[in-house]
Structure 1
């Protein structure tokens, strides 16, 4: 990372540093394939805790796919940022079990920018039956738009963000500077005019009243470009975003003095974001208002939102917990592991506080909605 900073003159905005630290093909955590996902890795995701999450999620995705009006054309289930490929592999199994009739007219499209991760995904999905699978870029989808459902699961929180900081009473841009002995340190930079205008147009009071010197937060400048590219890649369909997200009143509160930026490594959170550059994950929560505003600029309309705990309960999580009680005593250890995983998925202090945000675009975009009860959550099982 020091070499990149040297080449850039020694100082860059944090957003540039975060982009390098995560996505540089040689030095980046994702770009180089150093990422380790799972209970024994740097961080755990909902799918990495077991197959129950994917089975429940698949019911919602099936509902959305069946809602598309023209069932005579190929349907595409697009996962952007598939990571290790575990979720994609389990979706194949769940689709074959819950909706075998969709297999013949549905394809699984994986959008992955890292060659190293793409290879791991190919290995993970090798030999699995189910829908045809193809890998492509957003640009390739733009050249041949699809009709279907896009899944962005724990993706947008890893988009590079600008860091804003109050310095001597003024809002400034936070940067990263190469200090002595090639150590990385924080620095303050003047706000670029385009960013300053963007902040004014948002209508959000920044910095918030009562914020002290050193108050810092994040601004998601990459979202508009992403929604624009996705709008030209999907002619008709839905987008399901699953991520940590907060309302602007909570995100940009004076009491949230250090924003939401987090670093994860070896199962530990809250580490120094500038340490171990390229060897740890960096994330920042989403702001619901700025997310939906960026989406609306490109005809992605927010249809519904709920916390993950609510979404999974509507999809039948209670039935999964009840079924564990019917397992034989010889499967007790497995039942306990699955029960613990299911409870973590709905625990507000853990993964249950994830937000599910459903967007749609195209003809009759208002028809998409979340499942409302276990009875219809997995409709049309085939």
Structure 2
């Protein structure tokens, strides 16, 4: 179905000859500096916005995360007792997590605190301005903004957080058609509206898919896939992990996102893939509608993420579902503590209780995966709370 095309996007498509791969369309819709959803600072994150994130529900998420970060930082400290340590957030969104972490870390070990800094890596000027506004009144930890390129010039030692970031990297849409996988395109129709079309895979994309699938044991398309079966392929991951490897001298990378194993991701039953367009708390909208005014996101395939990480020198670590990780970090005790609040704080207690339960709801945020990777560090001292022995299968 055709969708109206704004003039700014039509200009980009015309300059590209009338059509682009879906990944390029997604990149423009999200990151175009003047008109993109994130690039222009149009994203609205929180209960009153387009979608909620764990940090946007309140400060309890950060409070629960702090002990995990401090355990990793303490282990990092023993490997080099004088070097500055960094907590790096890539793509900080509204800045909610950074604000709450800075506040909570003010009560941390003073000796370690004097060596800590908060580094926010934000590529989009519109979002960076909103983060700076939110954090300008927050004390407790030095904070600086930089680009990923700047971080690569002076690599850090510490913990890197990628929270709901990788699901917004531009993806290719693959379609099983006429006995072969084809690449989805977004193009202008004769009426200058947007429509989807397809073309054979380029040699480079085909070879990349074959290589990764061979290493990870993935079959594309899966058995019994019917004509029109559609999925996503994230070609951005290798470059992202390579950039992160150059930016981190030694440290732990924590990825928090919607993710699933290949045997669940690439199945004949998942015939429309995982791509979602989200606006005003509604999902399932057409990805071609209102480019720049809605979020576009695709789940991660854990096997593909792991392969990209290992290819660029990251050691695959533990994983856990968010619900399991937060319960291991004390969420149940925090819920119990709400019962001790005085009666005049009943409304606050009820609001926080609802938020905490949403964080572990297996049908929602509790189903997020926490995936860990490390580089330049020994194996001991960097385990993930709530991990259920999943790391062994990820290291194979």
Residues 271-310 of structure 1 aligned to structure 2 (within 5 Å) = 271-310=285-324
Candidates 22, 34, 58, aligned match of 2:30 = 22
Assess if the C-alpha contact under 8 Å between 2:163 and 2:256 holds in 1.
yes
Tell whether 2:188 aligns with 1:182.
no
Per-residue CA distance 1:130-163 (angstroms, 9 max, x = gap): 1111111111111111111100000000000111
Q: Distance in 1 between matches of 2:239 and 2:45?
A: 27
Tell whether 2:256 aligns with 1:245.
no
Contiguous gaps of at least 5 residues in structure 2: 1-8, 388-396
Tell whether 2:100 aligns with 1:73.
no
Q: Distance in 1 between matches of 2:358 and 2:300?
A: 21
Candidates 183, 192, 195, aligned match of 1:173 = 183
Candidates 11, 21, 24, aligned match of 2:19 = 11
1:215 maps to what in 2?
229
Q: Distance in 1 between matches of 2:66 and 2:233?
A: 32
Tell whether 2:113 aligns with 1:103.
yes
1:71 to partner: Cα distance: 2.5
Q: Distance in 1 between matches of 2:247 and 2:182?
A: 35
1:372 to partner: Cα distance: 5.3
Q: Distance in 2 between matches of 1:372 and 1:266?
A: 32
TM-score scaled by structure 1? 0.95
Per-residue CA distance 1:158-207 (angstroms, 9 max, x = gap): 00011100112321001111124322111011101011111211222111
Q: Distance in 1 between matches of 2:380 and 2:162?
A: 20
1:127 maps to what in 2?
137
Tell whether 2:242 aligns with 1:228.
yes
SS of alignment partner, residue 232 of structure 1: helix
Candidates 353, 357, 375, aligned match of 1:361 = 375
2:102 maps to what in 1?
92
Per-residue CA distance 1:265-307 (angstroms, 9 max, x = gap): 0111111011010110000000000100100011111110000
Tell whether 2:274 aligns with 1:260.
yes
SS of alignment partner, residue 59 of structure 1: helix
The total of aligned residue pairs comes to 373
Q: CA RMSD in A?
A: 1.2
TM-score scaled by structure 2? 0.92
2:5 maps to what in 1?
none
